[in-house]
């Protein structure tokens, strides 16, 4: 599975690592698990720098955003920081962040340290 995740009990951050080829089904399954285990309540760090192929485009990304909203509609998700490399993945992550803006705060970064610092700042704001 290209998406691995778990709660870091030291920092209370839900850490997700994405690698290899990623499909809509992979993302949908991951969202279901996030809902099932209540991971949405913890700030999340998504490290997608290992994702070399994304098999979906912007239309499917919009469907994923709507599906996430549907799955988590009665919750208030904690902020998510996404770390990517490459312009295409950065653009897709920014598009996703804009699609869920107003509901969940998503920061997109090309540096893991900056992403971690942003999450710490988000915790302070809440």
Confidence of residue 126 (pLDDT cuts 50, 70, 90): low
Instruction: Confirm whether pTM is higher than 0.85.
Output: yes
Distance (Å, rounded) from C-alpha 40 to C-alpha 58? 23
Classify residue 15 as exposed, middle or buried by CB count within 10 Å of its CB (0-12, 13-18, 19+).
Answer: middle
Domain ranges of the chain: 3-125
CATH class assigned to 3-125: alpha beta
Give tens-digit pLDDT for 19-76: 999 999 999 999 999 999 999 999 999 999 999 999 999 999 999 999 999 988 888 8
């Amino acid at each position: 599975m290209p998406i691995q995740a778990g709660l870091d009990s030291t920092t209370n951050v839900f850490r997700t690592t994405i690698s290899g080829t990623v499909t809509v089904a992979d993302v949908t399954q991951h969202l279901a698990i996030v809902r099932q285990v209540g991971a949405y309540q913890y700030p999340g760090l998504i490290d997608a720098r290992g994702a070399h192929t994304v098999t979906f485009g912007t239309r499917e990304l919009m469907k994923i955003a709507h599906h996430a909203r549907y799955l988590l509609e009665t919750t208030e998700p904690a902020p998510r920081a996404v770390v990517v490399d490459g312009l295409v993945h950065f653009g897709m992550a920014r598009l996703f962040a804009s699609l869920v803006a107003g509901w969940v705060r998503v920061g997109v970064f090309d540096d893991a340290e900056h992403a971690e610092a942003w999450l710490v700042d988000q915790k302070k704001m809440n």
